[in-house]
Structure 1
Amino acid sequence: MTADTHGIDLDSYFARIGYSGRPAQTLQTLKALLARHIDSIPFENITPFLGEPVNIELAAIEDKLVHHQRGGYCFEQNALLRAVLQQIGFQVTGLAARVLWQMPEGHQSAQSHMLLRVVLEGVPYLLDAGFGSNTPSAPLRMDSAARQSTPHAVYRLTLIGEEYLLEIRIAQGWAPLYRFDCRPRTAGDYKMANWYCCTHPESRFVQQLIATRIVPEGRHVLLDRQLSYQPIDGPKTEKTLADVGDLRRTLLAVFGIEVPSGAGADRKLAGIF
């Protein structure tokens, strides 16, 4: 994969996610950076929902997610995290997955999700900061088929032929999230997938407003006007937002997102109601 020559301002990134440690090529650093990243930078698709394409050049991603306090989806979240880890010295490869979550059995989806493979002391880890409410909140070992606990959920990775299947433990049993292989993806691969996700009328990111944030105590999820919170321990709570003003206030207070202003944005948001 051709490297992006843009260098991330690590001090600004660390300030954005509230990381005050000394980064080193260790599992402790990997865990800490992922935890702070997903707590501080929300998953959101406001840009494509408002009808604008998503620029996944690294400089544009850094400007949006770091300097303008916005969030993004997988092609932004994981590209930023990959660049940060590479500057620290980690061995990182960008991969692509076929999403299976909430899909009919046997559905053949495109490789529309970006994720990362990090090799540390000879051990491969799956790292993903951009799968919305089910984002693993800790690195997952790829050399183990055992169930793996993270602060927010239990996962397992199963190697089937040349592909890995990632599943999450839910009340009803194991549910598939996505499947992927270890072939490195190019910038062109991501541009094609991103273009579909942010512009195609059938894309979920064009049709629905989505925002999620994983905090140490649980997960906040917004789907159009429905806001929910699932604590690590305790029952799920849900709320239906009343209007555009309520939606804007919730996005800012819960997710730290200030939605772009303007009549066009308000008209699109009003369509939710």
Structure 2
Amino acid sequence: MRLFCLSLFAGLMLLAGPVARADGFDTANFDVFVDARTGTGQPVYWYSVGTLRAYPSGELLARVEGYDTSTSDRPEPGRPLARQFSRKIYVYRDPETNEVLRQRNGMTVEPVAYPYQFITYELVGDRLTTMVEQGTGARVQRIGPGDTMQARRIGDAHVFTAPLFLDFPAGGDRRYQAFENYDFFIQASGGASNPNQLSWVRYGDAPAWAGGGPAIMHLITWRIDRYEDVPATLRQYVEADAPLWRAPPTGIEDIRRLQAGQ
């Protein structure tokens, strides 16, 4: 499937100097973030619903539904380092009927579909640093290291904010440029029926079938711990059209196989 770039939980930030900051990380909130984001063994599904709207008119171009599913490991016990093995898919739906869009304005509508995304998280001083790998063969991209994620507390809830300013070559004279922001809200145990939540927004160009002009995508996301509990609207699409996306990659060997295009 053709990829329309959605860099969920990726980074393009440069390492800064080791100056302590009030919104920095320590081993405790590093563990809180990583365990919430990637789970502690079994696959997790960060399910999203939202909209794609033209800017500045606000015209509703499409509804959006999808998930990012992942598992992880800690390859070096005792070291604050985690590896996330992800697969993500997001479909566009008709604003009125909610049917999956397949054609619009004479063009094919492709989902946002990443067969894999490999992310490492490491605590370096009081920074959570990220490195992202995606793509296949000669087109494997390594993005990072990034370290601008902020850690805050609101009462007994953790809030993790990751702003991304994306600007990189996209073939020929084109560049991919967008702003994305992720706000994770991790509630204290017993504080919410679903303690793992995310609000995500992107400003950048819409896909060509939607006009290609400036647009804003906004998604509300929460973690689901069993595939069977993912809403049927998305499961039906995955099982019929994208069975690879039913589960995440199994580990680093699976990632390397996918990177090789196998």
Structure 1 length-normalised TM:
0.27
User: Comparing both structures, which one devotes a greater share of its residues to helix?
Assistant: 1
User: Comparing both structures, which one devotes a greater share of its residues to strand?
Assistant: 2
Structure 2 length-normalised TM:
0.28
Q: Which has the higher contact order (CA 8 A, sep 6+)?
A: 2
